[in-house]
Homo-oligomer: A and B are copies of this chain.
């Protein structure tokens, strides 16, 4: 509706109602205009209604929604199914032009504005959540692995001779593959055992850099958020090393945005040393479906190069999801969820201490990891017996635990990983991990602890003949008597890796 509409409404309504209706409409426009003007993450979340109305307004600016438009090109964002049109808010042109992911699309002014706003909100969010020094970022319609690959491909364009990426080992396949797919060779730096905890071998990293022709090193890759007992990498030290030797440094901050510590070390690293880019998953941090990351950095030019490296257009779906979610939550609600997560991490830890002791086990001491917690398991020769623990939990509707036996060895793209899953060639004990992540509720923690206890009870009864007793830690275990039932064979994340 425009001014003419309100004039026409005078035929339908007393003038005071028209005036008030206009005022109400102005309030809504004011919300939009504030966003357009300030480009900041609003403190108060928006209602779904306000968000949808903004998306409708933006979609109206895309040529496929012009009432009079006639398309004679090869790509006109026609949408055949009304179901598809509706779920995409009639936005059909995706992101980017051939030159650059963040470039304005002539046929899609609304989509372009939406993307710029999302990038602005994302930048403000990262600033608000612990990295005030950030200079540029964009939301990539790619999950973490492929986003890292994109960064590596950009680095290749800048350093065409580079062959290697130095990588502080983390046993997550897609991290490793992001290097391989980009066509680089990983130089794997094993983590160091410090008590229960696995920490960065910065000395080794520096030693490798010193030994190698710098032209051949594309970058060092470190990781913040990870499964216990691995700690957040010592990104500060690595950043300093990288700065000193003029080597690029890429940080995988997959689910670190929700964690003050992960964010803080990145900010510190950028001050003292070198950080070229850090990548965070949108699904893990902002509770949207899988498919996006925020690629951020402290050098505008480099981050622009990454976005320019992307050839052609891309799906705008991950951006729409993040845009809606950032507006819907507002910073206030998000920060309160971050605080709640911290408390739930404590509850989870306290609960696990109790459960562990009940079964003669203990919590792994990993002060460098404030998201994931490990609980030791008795040493068994047969990884399948451990598998069943994860399987049983999954079948009891507990998802996300990981059982690590230290007995699995894996070869990925010609690289051997001993004790795959544990981030270390010889971790002293088998264990199970659980994590407290954003969006979790007290009921999740309580129910998980309850079901874990039940499962451990039945499981320890089963392994009793071979692991006499589960309560006595450190005993030799004989697997031959164990009857494997079908459920042990579940092949899943929740099981041994």
The yes or no answer to A53 lying at the interface (CB within 8 A) is yes
The yes or no answer to A405 lying at the interface (CB within 8 A) is no
Chain A: interface residue count, which band? 35 or more
Chain B nearest CB: distance from A122 CB in Å? Answer: 15
Closest B-chain residue to A412, C-beta based?
Answer: B99
CB–CB A313/B486 < 8 A: no
The yes or no answer to A174 lying at the interface (CB within 8 A) is yes
CB–CB B145/A80 < 8 A: no
CB–CB A81/B310 < 8 A: no
CB–CB A84/B324 < 8 A: yes
CB–CB A328/B83 < 8 A: yes
CA distance in complex: A106, B18 (Å): 10
CB–CB B183/A153 < 8 A: yes
CB–CB A286/B394 < 8 A: no
CB–CB B73/A437 < 8 A: yes
CA distance in complex: A82, B173 (Å): 31
Stretch at the interface among A24-32, A126-134, A238-246, A260-268: A24-32
CA distance in complex: A110, B56 (Å): 19
A313 / chain B contacts, CB cutoff of 8 Å: 143-145, 174, 290-291
User: A182 is contacted by which of B98, B153, B283, B348 (Cβ under 8 Å)?
Assistant: B153
The yes or no answer to A336 lying at the interface (CB within 8 A) is no
Chain B nearest CB: distance from A320 CB in Å? Answer: 8
The yes or no answer to A208 lying at the interface (CB within 8 A) is no
CA distance in complex: A81, B113 (Å): 21
Task: State whether A312 and B143 are in contact (beta carbons under 8 Å apart), knowing that A4-B29, A36-B8, A399-B72 are contacts in the complex.
Answer: yes
Stretch at the interface among A195-203, A269-277, A444-452: A444-452
A116 / chain B contacts, CB cutoff of 8 Å: 12
The yes or no answer to A490 lying at the interface (CB within 8 A) is yes
User: A314 is contacted by which of B88, B146, B445 (Cβ under 8 Å)?
Assistant: B146
A287 / chain B contacts, CB cutoff of 8 Å: 78-81
CA distance in complex: A474, B291 (Å): 53
The yes or no answer to A400 lying at the interface (CB within 8 A) is yes
The yes or no answer to A321 lying at the interface (CB within 8 A) is yes
Chain B nearest CB: distance from A15 CB in Å? Answer: 8
A86-136, CB < 8 A from B: 86-95, 97-99, 104, 106-107, 109-110, 112-113, 116-117
A227 / chain B contacts, CB cutoff of 8 Å: 74
CB–CB B451/A70 < 8 A: yes
Stretch at the interface among A44-52, A295-303, A353-361, A475-483: A44-52
The yes or no answer to A33 lying at the interface (CB within 8 A) is yes
Closest B-chain residue to A434, C-beta based?
Answer: B72
Stretch at the interface among A59-67, A229-237, A423-431, A457-465: A59-67
CA distance in complex: A292, B88 (Å): 14
Chain B nearest CB: distance from A116 CB in Å? Answer: 5
CB–CB B61/A399 < 8 A: no
CA distance in complex: A149, B27 (Å): 41
Task: State whether A317 and B329 are in contact (beta carbons under 8 Å apart), knowing that A33-B8, A92-B283, A98-B174 are contacts in the complex.
Answer: no
CB–CB B13/A177 < 8 A: no
Given contact pairs A73-B437, A145-B313, enumerate 8 new A-B contacts (beta carbons under 8 Å): A69-B399, A71-B398, A73-B494, A74-B227, A80-B328, A92-B289, A180-B311, A181-B310
Shortest beta-carbon contacts, A-B, top 9:
A73-B400, A291-B315, A145-B312, A94-B290, A174-B312, A145-B311, A98-B173, A317-B317, A106-B492
